[in-house]
Amino acid sequence: MRSLLKPNRVLAGPAIFCVLGSLILACVAQDAPVTYPVRGVVLNSLTHRPIARALVDGRSDAVLTDNDGRFEINLTEGMTQINVRRPGYNNFTGGMMMHPVKVGPDMPGLTFYLVPQASITVHVMLSNGDAADDIRFVAYRRRINQGHGRWMQEGNFTTDSEGVFRMVNVDAPASYLLCSTPTQEITAPMGPGKITYGYPPVCYPGVTDLSTASPLTVSPGQQVEAEIALSRQPFYPVTILMPNRGQGQPAGISINDQSGFGTGFPARLNSRQGLAEVNLPNGRYYAESRTNNGQTSAYGRTDFQVSGEPVTGLSLVVHPLNPISVEIHRDLTHNEAISFVGAFPGNPGNETNPGLNINLIAVESAGNTGGSQLRHPAGSSDNSHFEMDNVTPGSYWVQTFAFQGYVASISSGGVDLAREPLVIGPGGAAAPIEISLSDNGGKISATINPNSLANSASNPGEGEMSIIFAYAIPQFPSTAQLVMAATQGAFPLMFGNLAPGTYRVAAFDKPDEIDLDDSQAMAQFNSQGQTVTVEAGATASVELDVIQTAHGGGEGQTQ
């Protein structure tokens, strides 16, 4: 791999191709593709100092930067992708740098930024002074999905002989929760009704209830260090009766804390007596069990508390999950349906297609979340009547994506699901969900202020193509998925299929995680961008300034 700069040159020359016919050898000269030099520099996004020996890869040519961070490669004329990477550095979203570049004559110099990798180092101590080796931890990262924040499992880690574990190359900026898994002593054999000892799960900075844990917020390039102390405690026996456990029922149960996170405590099944046994330290928990035998699903849950003594008398009854009825009323005057990658097209003539997706997002920070497939009830082809299967009891925010028109209203038992969560009772009991679809919506056409783009980190000049991310957030209760539009050098950005009403529209140089449930985050978003009113059947126009995200530098500026 070269690391020295090459002289400026444009390569063009003949290539000889020969074809052997029956008795004749015919050779034709063809011009090789025209290439042009692409020059630039790679910098540290935090310090703006040059990065030596960064790999700049243009597919057909690649080079390592010199001691001043500079590079030159020769690439074929036209659009291409340049990847920039270096051990110890990331881009803003993790993974490999991807820069769309239009190669041509007299290209300006490019500047690419890499972010120093962040890390978290945790020191673990045991209350009895023993070595804290082989202690397992689970890391959770808070992620925003379609406007709602969730704690998602990020990885598993184990302490070394010094009681230390290290998370390297973590995404930043981001927030993490670090929780140990339970460790029980095995000096005495475990048995029914016996108290054991061990170290209960603890979340940083040292709490047993994950809902009161302190997230570790990591900035780009930051090296975070933390200490966690584990205290030896008694584990009390808990006995749970499973009266209707039988063929097709689950083989076991899981133990969770009240936030919905699994504790990692293994439950022992006594099949003959229909009991589940587990040893737990003091705390508040719930046990749950679920099954799906291919035809029907079932679910059960029991909540309890351990307070310094064994727990008996608990019963976990598993109930079949009944489908939830969904009634769809359509006020549609157009046959036009939007296209959406990976989704069913909204074809009014397709009697098996509901014309929309429904996602259920648990109100609990770690509860069940996911899409729910709509299907016709058995023996029915009524295009207004559908069902959702396998929804466990709990409270859910409802999120919709309509392929034709928009959701004008959605309710269940008189409860407006655009304002209040959907409550599912034991056995999946819930009032029918009633949805009205309309297609008298409007559009937003968003252009970018050229002066704003010229001064932004997204401005690529004549070489690299710009990518802008814009969001339209309704200023009224809605179940619609977060509306985003992205563009690579093409304007205006178009938002379609919108319910009439007022929207806040803002454009960013990077994808932004917008938490619709965070009042402070929404207050900040609502101080940016522009407010626009969408009227039925009309297109509203707005000009936006590009808002700089706080990542410590741009990704592809020209020099």
The pLDDT tens digits for 181-201 are 888 876 655 566 788 999 988
Residue 30 located in a structural domain: yes
Domain count across the chain: 5
Of 84, 115, 146, which residue is a domain's last?
115
Residue 261 located in a structural domain: no
**Does 225 lie in the same domain as 122?**
yes
Residue 8 located in a structural domain: no
DSSP assignment of 39-70: EEEEEETTT--B-TT-EEE-SS-EEE--TTSE
Per-residue pLDDT of the chain (559 residues; tens, 9 = 90+): 444 444 444 444 555 545 554 444 555 555 678 889 999 999 998 899 999 999 999 989 999 999 999 999 999 998 888 999 999 887 654 344 578 888 989 888 898 888 898 999 999 999 888 889 999 999 999 887 777 777 888 899 999 999 999 999 888 888 999 999 888 876 655 566 788 999 988 899 888 777 778 899 998 889 999 999 999 999 999 999 988 765 444 456 889 888 777 888 888 887 777 888 999 999 899 999 887 765 678 888 999 999 999 999 999 988 888 889 999 999 888 655 443 333 334 444 444 578 888 988 888 755 555 556 788 888 888 889 999 888 888 889 899 988 888 999 999 999 999 999 999 988 778 899 999 999 899 999 988 887 766 544 444 444 455 677 888 999 999 998 777 776 655 568 888 889 999 999 998 877 767 877 777 778 877 788 899 999 998 999 999 888 876 444 333 333 3
pLDDT at 352: 59
Residue pair 46/552 in contact (Cβ under 8 Å)? The answer is yes
Residue pair 158/134 in contact (Cβ under 8 Å)? The answer is yes
Rounded to 5 degrees, φ, ψ at 524 are -70, -40
Report the C-alpha gap between 241 and 316 in whole angstroms.
Answer: 6
**Does 548 lie in the same domain as 448?**
yes
68-71 long-range contacts (CB < 8 A, ≥24 apart) are 68/41, 69/41, 69/42, 69/43, 70/5, 70/39, 70/40, 70/41, 71/5, 71/39, 71/40, 71/41, 71/42
Residue 309 carries which DSSP code? Answer: S
Neighbouring C-alpha atoms within 13 Å toward the C-beta of 44: 15
263-266 long-range contacts (CB < 8 A, ≥24 apart) are 263/182, 263/201, 264/138, 264/181, 264/182, 264/201, 265/182
**Does 452 lie in the same domain as 433?**
no
Q: pTM (2 decimals)?
A: 0.72
Of 115, 130, 146, which residue is a domain's last?
115
Which residue from 470, 540, 559, 463 is spatially nearest to 501, judged by alpha carbons?
A: 540
**Does 432 lie in the same domain as 462?**
no
pLDDT at 240: 93
CA distances from 458 to 51, 293, 314, 332, 505 (A): 20, 52, 59, 40, 18
What is the CA angle 341-361-372, rounded to 5? 55
**Does 272 lie in the same domain as 184?**
no
Q: What CATH number is associated with residue 474?
A: 2.60.40.1120
Q: Given the DSSP bridges, would you call strands 110-116 and 556-558 parallel, antiparallel or unpaired?
A: antiparallel
Residue 242 neighbours by CB under 8 Å, 6+ apart: 249, 253, 274, 275, 276, 289, 300, 315, 316, 317, 318
**Does 123 lie in the same domain as 101?**
no
Which residue from 438, 500, 491 is spatially nearest to 466, judged by alpha carbons?
A: 491
Residue 236 located in a structural domain: no
pLDDT at 218: 92
Residue 1 located in a structural domain: no
What is the token pair recorded at 46?
């935090």
**Does 155 lie in the same domain as 110?**
no
pLDDT at 488: 58
Report the C-alpha gap between 220 and 552 in whole angstroms.
Answer: 8
Residue 5 located in a structural domain: no
Of 383, 413, 438, which residue is a domain's last?
438
Per-residue exposure over 433-446, b if at least 16 CB sit within 10 Å of its own CB, e if not: bbbbbbbbbbebbb
Residue 422 located in a structural domain: yes
pLDDT at 381: 80
**Does 225 lie in the same domain as 170?**
yes
Residue 4 located in a structural domain: no
Residue pair 18/2 in contact (Cβ under 8 Å)? The answer is no
Q: What CATH number is associated with residue 148?
A: 2.60.40.10
Q: Given the DSSP bridges, would you call strands 55-57 and 62-64 parallel, antiparallel or unpaired?
A: antiparallel
Q: Which domain holds residue 47?
A: 14-115
**Does 56 lie in the same domain as 123?**
no
Bridge partner residues of 386 (DSSP):
326
**Does 217 lie in the same domain as 130?**
yes
Residue with tokens 């030896």, as numbered in its chain: 232
Residue 271 neighbours by CB under 8 Å, 6+ apart: none
**Does 333 lie in the same domain as 427?**
yes
**Does 106 lie in the same domain as 18?**
yes
Report the C-alpha gap between 40 and 555 in whole angstroms.
Answer: 12
Please, is 324 exposed, middle or buried when counting C-beta atoms within 10 Å of its C-beta (0-12, 13-18, 19+)? Answer: buried
Q: Which tens digit of pLDDT belongs to each residue from 375-399?
A: 888 888 888 999 988 888 888 989 9
